[in-house]
Amino acid sequence: MLPYIILHNSISLDGSLINFNVNMDIHYQIASSYKPDAHLIGSKTIKTGIEQYGSAPQEESKDFIKPERDSNLPYWIIIDTKGTLKGLLHEVRRFEFCKDVVIFISQDTPKDYINYLEKRNYDFHIVGKKNIDLDTSFKILSDKYNVKKILTDTGKILGNLLINNGFVKEISLLVHPVIVGKKSYNIFESINKNIGLKLFRYDIIDKDFIWLTYKVDNTKN
């Protein structure tokens, strides 16, 4: 059985993912409340996050060894077919709330990136020729890593891809009290069909924020 996938994002009242100040405390309080077995994140999202906080620290010998952490911590699952995170993955692996990193790449992924992953003892899986075969990837996560619940709070490209292909079973939205307007970057802009939803929870947080959660009707079994 495929893992249960939750799409969790913070948005403006008009559905933008960017160009406003996200309340990260509330965002991650909600994310952690799901107690996922894995976080699914796109490589561009991670690279952007690292760049916002300056350049990554230099690698050390410990970065070539798998970390030994609490088995209850979630894996960080990263799709990186182009080797975007070459030279940066050690910063992800150092994150104390990450059990370890698992990378999904394709047959077209640069060989030097594969060598980079091998030398540093990263788990990686080649699934698909050019693009990732998501069905196979999620089956690997279920069978090999016993992942039953995945939370993703990545950008709209990966999020919309997951929804369009019927993988997302729940959508969690933290609505912020702001309208972005002309600079809006709409969270669902690339959805290619009507998606049936069923509201099953809503909460007002800190008076001004609304947390909405929906079940998705048309998903894969």
d(CA 73, CA 95): 11
Domains in the chain (CATH in brackets) are 1-36+149-221 (3.40.430.10), 38-147 (3.40.430.10)
Average pLDDT of adjacent 10-residue blocks, the chain of 221 residues: 95 96 94 95 86 76 92 94 94 91 96 97 95 95 97 91 95 98 95 94 96 85 51
202 CB neighbour count, 10 Å cutoff: 12
Task: Give residue for tokens 């929906």.
Answer: 214
What would you measure as the largest C-alpha separation in the chain, in angstroms? 51
Whether pTM > 0.75 for this model: the answer is yes
